[in-house]
Amino acid sequence: MKRILTLLLVLSACLSGNAQKAEISGNRKAVRTSGDVLALVTPVASLTTVLVLQDWQGLKQGALAGVSTIGMTYALKYLIKKERPDGSDNHSFPSMHTSVSFTGAAFIQRRYGWKWGIPAYAVASYVGWSRTYARKHDWWDVVAGAALGAGSAYIFTRPFAKKHNLSISPVASDKHFGIHASITI
């Protein structure tokens, strides 16, 4: 457990320490900064949720999705070597910020449902948009990052409700429907 948490913290530090060098000003700078910060919101929300719920299976699934997303994104960046729209370097494709953010959003949606997934996808979409607005990526870099992140999460993540036998069933004391949960460990 401690090893997984340490790995996640190290990966988060690597992502946040990978700041971009190109100078921009005004609205683009503010949007880029907000996108940089929000890129970690969905992974941190995922980690917080699994820890609060003590969902250790979800922690494993989220870690696998995150590690595979980061690994594939870095591999593609160094294999493809596409120049960024602002000319700062040649690591534009795919967008790491977007892939990480969409991994977290897809994990939340797949594991805990659309009620939490919709706001997570909204945050991830803003992150993707911020990368194009700040001229760090073209739209296809962002789309590829989103597909990579969401795909990774969907491959490794299983719904929490199915695992814990959460279902709707009739309540015996009255004839209204209620939620019945039987958790098997």
Question: Residue 108: left if φ>0, alpha if ψ -120 to 50, beta else—which one?
Answer: alpha
Q: What is the mean pLDDT of residues 164-172?
A: 42
User: What are the pLDDT digits (tens) for 51-108?
Assistant: 999 999 999 999 999 999 999 999 999 999 999 988 888 988 999 999 999 999 999 9
Domain boundaries, the chain: 2-11+26-160
Owner of token pair 């001229």: 135
This prediction has a pTM of 0.74
What is the pLDDT confidence band of residue 174, given thresholds at 50, 70 and 90?
very low
DSSP 97-113: HHHHHHHHHHHHHHHH-
User: What are the pLDDT digits (tens) for 40-54?
Assistant: 999 999 999 999 999
